[in-house]
Amino acid sequence: MNAETGRVVLITGGAKGIGAGIAQRLAADGWTVIVADQSPHGAAPPGGRYVACDVGDEAAVGLLVRSIASTEQRLDALVCNAGFMIRKPLADLSLAEWTSVLTTNLTSTFLLVREAESFLRAAKGAVVTIASSRARMSEPDTESYAASKGGLVALTHAMAISLGPDVRVNCISPGWILTKGPAPTAEEHAFHPVGRVGRVEDVAALTAFLIGPESGFITGAEFVVDGGVTRKMIYPE
């Protein structure tokens, strides 16, 4: 029997992209997958459940976790993946826009873990947050996104200390993961020390490891999954 059979995981932002890839991988591993996403048109893998939910809304998060309590009646793992970017010059970025990015990308994790803490403790469970290599490096006009992802890295190690030893909390910071758009060029692949742009499966595989039993001695850690780009020295030509 698969070791994960019967275990329940909640994945936020799971309707597409990295979140959907994580959902598919964990379902294939035997997890019961609950996908929460703001989109009304999403879906969960077979055997799972989809919930349309704004995870930055405190009341909505409460309803979501109570629905898990009544339906699945357990929660073994939480993957906090919900997030989006507003790219604007700093002078043009409104306070409302700044707040919306931080609410979805950062505050939602606080709300979810706070609401689900008792279930995660009872299960001796695990949390994985999905930050970004942009917590460590930036392009212009991405202040709200960088701040939210940097905050998520810090929130991860804070929660690991507060929730341990019952609950382990770790962070994945992806670099360029291809989820949409044109195929990368040969030059773009070659820019990465590993020789290629990232795939959703790269993040999904690490997530599966971090919420599984083989990572039992790992908590409060950040894993940068970027093909080595943040370790690459770049000089002007």
Q: Provide the CATH number for the domain formed by 8-231 in this structure.
A: 3.40.50.720
148 band by pLDDT with thresholds 50, 70 and 90: very high
The count of residues in the chain is 237
Catalytic residue among 145, 148, 171, 229: 145
pLDDT attached to residue 127: 98
Instruction: Say yes or no to pLDDT of 1 above 50.
Output: no
Residue 235 half-sphere exposure toward CB, CA atoms < 13 A = 1
> Active site includes 235?
no
- pLDDT of 80-113, one tens digit each? 999 999 999 999 999 999 999 999 999 999 999 9
Which two structure tokens, joined as six digits, stand for 97? Answer: 């826009």
227 band by pLDDT with thresholds 50, 70 and 90: very high
- pLDDT of 30-62, one tens digit each? 999 999 999 999 999 999 999 999 999 999 999
Instruction: Say yes or no to pLDDT of 69 above 80.
Output: yes
Give the range among 16-30, 47-61, 175-189 with minimum mean pLDDT.
175-189
Average pLDDT, the chain: 96
With pLDDT > 90 as the criterion, what percentage of the chain qualifies? 93
What's the predicted TM-score (pTM) here? Answer: 0.95
Alpha-carbon distance values, 88 to 105, 138, 196, 203, 215 (Å): 17, 13, 29, 28, 39
Domain boundaries, the chain: 8-231
Instruction: Say yes or no to pLDDT of 79 above 80.
Output: yes
